[in-house]
């Protein structure tokens, strides 16, 4: 087998990458991985398939292609040298994954952090939000469970006690998973301060006292994350609005919370506050989760409204004011008042203060650092990972990228494959997605066949007396190969990896329908949905094979 790497032009989304990958793998003796983000195709081909034929296939599919390299074997990583010095700007999940792996490879690492060690996830993101969501769910279920003969009693919420528990777990995890690692790893030094580039090989680090320390490392990794984006609404900047950080760590529940935003951060907090006892109104500029399949937003809006949440779609305030006691939001034909306002309209990469131009590091118009599938930036010896890059803003993507960046910075050759990336929104029902939806696929020339099964046809959902949501599978029409899944279901996040693995292993929906799934589980719904491509599941027995 010969390994080729092709530079691909003309792709406009992940659907193009999937289309090209399918076209290449239709050639005999060919295995391919195509990355839309990096514009690269890595192809293993038998001797009967020369590079010219691969390029011709790509062009036949409508894309430009040129050979980057050709090797008889996949390159073998050379041993790392202990003299390699790597500077990492940031201390979140991607930074720590890189530091740990680089140290394992024999490098000396300097981690630079201006704030709290650990980054967003452990301190102000994943950990506190999931504790809050779980606590809110328990409180809600006590008063709203569906089972007869069991008393319903919502009780009261001691927000201060809950906040203390959240802070304890956050501190505990930061110590064990971040600070403790630094203490136990002599190869990694923590340098407190704010870094910026003086040129492509020099970092200036300003500490709290104003002292400047200059570093000249062999490699530099940027892992500075992202911060809440604040929309330019008239008057908003002059008010004491919340971001997600303040919302997660307040010691009192507001009587009425208004939330501007319709993405996952907004909706998770919206439902948590409602379940803890606040009146909640959400204002979405478009629809809920507008980047996903429209059916997802419709189903989730219905579930939120059933819990008493007011949802206003296609709504943006014209003006926001605060009179020392309450917020006043001016809408079309209405003045909306609340005692707290949360702004959750996305996140902006933390790159402006780095002086990236001095280092020759390219960013997109939004300030995100452009990286290839080896995490390389446009500047020699400078890499980047995490939310400050053009990659998906997911902590597990950042960590995987950090490990691979460390391998590459210490002499190795490791690519990050983002062709199959599952994602979860931790509302209830949860929203879990992977691969392409119908619109994404068909927009890019992939003829699809899709099936949806509502949870009223899933035995475990019936046994739970909770049939809110659906499972949807998207297949390539000609081959029947699974290319996408969208799930709206209680604990849907626990189900999505089944679909991700099926896509990764190029399974057809017929093969998925013939797999053995345990009964009664929610994951069995994926099998049932796969069966709907050829059968009417309403006419099957409970555990029909």
pLDDT, mean of each 10-residue run, the chain (545 residues): 83 72 85 78 85 85 74 35 84 97 96 96 96 96 95 91 96 95 94 96 93 96 97 97 97 96 97 97 97 97 98 97 96 94 97 97 97 97 98 97 98 95 98 97 94 96 96 97 98 97 97 95 96 85 64
Q: What is the pTM of this model?
A: 0.84
Name the active-site residue from 4, 111, 121, 529. 121
Q: How many domains does the chain have?
A: 4
**pLDDT, position 44:** 85
Name the active-site residue from 1, 13, 337, 396. 13
126 is annotated as an active-site residue: yes
If asked whether residues 117 and 245 sit together in one domain, one would say no
If asked whether residues 395 and 452 sit together in one domain, one would say no
**pLDDT, position 544:** 59
Rg of the chain (C-alpha set): 25
Domain boundary residue, one of 27, 42, 71? 71
**pLDDT, position 70:** 39
If asked whether residues 201 and 268 sit together in one domain, one would say no
**pLDDT, position 25:** 85
The CATH number linked to 213 is: 3.50.50.60
Residue 316's nearest CA partner among 259, 269, 366, 263 is 259
If asked whether residues 368 and 255 sit together in one domain, one would say no
The CATH number linked to 459 is: 3.30.390.30
529 is annotated as an active-site residue: no
Name the active-site residue from 36, 63, 241, 273. 63
8-state DSSP, 527: H
If asked whether residues 109 and 206 sit together in one domain, one would say yes
Name the active-site residue from 4, 36, 126, 273. 126
13 is annotated as an active-site residue: yes
522 is annotated as an active-site residue: no
Can you list the positions of beta strands (E) in 395-479?
A: 423-425, 430-435, 448-454, 470-476
273 is annotated as an active-site residue: no
Scored b (16 or more CB within 10 A) or e, 217-231 reads bbbbbbbbbbebeee
Write out the two tokens for 181: 């690692």
In a domain, 440, yes or no: yes
Name the active-site residue from 16, 111, 391, 522. 16
388 is annotated as an active-site residue: no
* Angle, helices 126-144/159-174, rounded to nearest 10 degrees: 140
Name the active-site residue from 4, 178, 241, 543. 543
If asked whether residues 222 and 106 sit together in one domain, one would say yes
**pLDDT, position 374:** 97
If asked whether residues 176 and 276 sit together in one domain, one would say no
Q: Do the beta carbons of residue 336 and residue 258 sit within 8 Å?
A: yes
In a domain, 315, yes or no: yes
If asked whether residues 180 and 255 sit together in one domain, one would say no
If asked whether residues 101 and 207 sit together in one domain, one would say yes
What range does the domain containing 338 cover? 236-344
In a domain, 482, yes or no: yes
In a domain, 79, yes or no: no
If asked whether residues 223 and 359 sit together in one domain, one would say yes
178 is annotated as an active-site residue: no
Name the active-site residue from 178, 396, 519, 542. 542
Q: Do the beta carbons of residue 235 and residue 321 sit within 8 Å?
A: yes
Q: What is the helix (H) or strand (E) element at residue 244, kind and residue range?
A: helix 244-249
Q: Do the beta carbons of residue 383 and residue 90 sit within 8 Å?
A: no
């Amino acid at each position: 087998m010969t390994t080729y790497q092709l530079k691909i032009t003309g792709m406009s989304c992940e659907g193009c990458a999937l289309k090209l990958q399918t076209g290449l793998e239709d050639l005999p003796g060919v295995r391919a991985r195509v990355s839309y983000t990096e514009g690269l195709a890595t192809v293993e081909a038998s001797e009967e398939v020369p590079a010219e034929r691969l390029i011709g296939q790509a062009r036949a599919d409508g894309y430009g292609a040129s050979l980057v390299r050709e090797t008889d074997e996949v390159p073998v990583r050379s041993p790392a040298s202990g003299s390699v010095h790597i500077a990492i700007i940031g201390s979140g999940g991607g930074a720590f994954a890189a530091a740990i792996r680089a140290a394992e490879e024999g490098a000396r690492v300097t981690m630079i952090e201006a704030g709290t060690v650990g980054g967003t996830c452990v301190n102000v993101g994943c950990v506190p939000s999931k504790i809050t969501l779980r606590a809110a769910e328990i409180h809600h279920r006590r008063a709203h469970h569906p089972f007869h003969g069991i008393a319903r009693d919502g009780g009261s919420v001691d927000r201060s006690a809950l906040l203390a528990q959240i802070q304890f777990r956050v501190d505990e995890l930061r110590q064990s998973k971040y600070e403790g690692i630094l203490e136990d790893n002599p190869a990694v030094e923590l340098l407190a301060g704010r870094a910026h580039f003086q040129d492509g090989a020099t970092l200036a680090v300003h500490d709290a006292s104003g002292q400047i320390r200059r570093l000249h490392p062999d490699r530099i990794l940027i892992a500075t994350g992202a911060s809440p984006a604040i929309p330019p609404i008239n008057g908003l900047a002059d008010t004491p609005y919340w971001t997600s950080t303040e919302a997660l760590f307040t010691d009192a529940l507001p009587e009425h919370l208004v939330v501007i935003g319709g993405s996952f951060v907004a909706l998770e907090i919206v439902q948590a506050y409602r379940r803890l006892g606040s009146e909640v109104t959400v204002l979405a500029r478009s629809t809920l989760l507008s980047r996903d399949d429209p059916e997802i937003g419709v189903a989730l809006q219905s579930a939120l409204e059933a819990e008493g949440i007011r949802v206003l779609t296609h709504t943006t305030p014209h003006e926001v004011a605060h009179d020392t006691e309450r917020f006043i939001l001016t809408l079309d034909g209405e003045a909306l008042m609340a005692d707290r306002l949360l702004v959750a309209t996305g996140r902006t990469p933390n790159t402006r203060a780095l002086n990236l131009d001095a280092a020759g590091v390219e960013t997109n118009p939004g300030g995100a650092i452009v990286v290839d599938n080896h995490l390389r930036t446009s500047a020699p010896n400078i890499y980047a990972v995490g939310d400050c890059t053009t990659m998906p803003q997911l902590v597990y993507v950042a960590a995987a990228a950090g490990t691979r960046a460390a391998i590459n910075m210490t002499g190795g050759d490791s690519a990050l494959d983002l062709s199959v990336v599952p994602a979860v929104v931790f509302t209830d029902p949860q929203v879990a997605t992977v691969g392409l939806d119908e619109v994404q696929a068909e927009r890019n020339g992939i003829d699809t066949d899709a099936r949806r099964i509502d949870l009223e046809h899933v035995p475990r959902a019936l046994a739970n007396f909770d049939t809110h949501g659906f499972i949807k599978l998207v297949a390539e029409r000609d081959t029947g190969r699974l290319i996408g899944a969208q799930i709206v279901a209680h604990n849907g996040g626990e189900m999505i990896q089944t679909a991700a693995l099926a896509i990764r292993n190029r399974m057809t929906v017929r093969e998925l329908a013939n797999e053995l799934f345990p009964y009664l589980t929610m994951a069995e719904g994926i099998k049932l949905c796969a069966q709907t491509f050829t059968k009417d599941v309403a006419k099957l027995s409970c555990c029909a094979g």
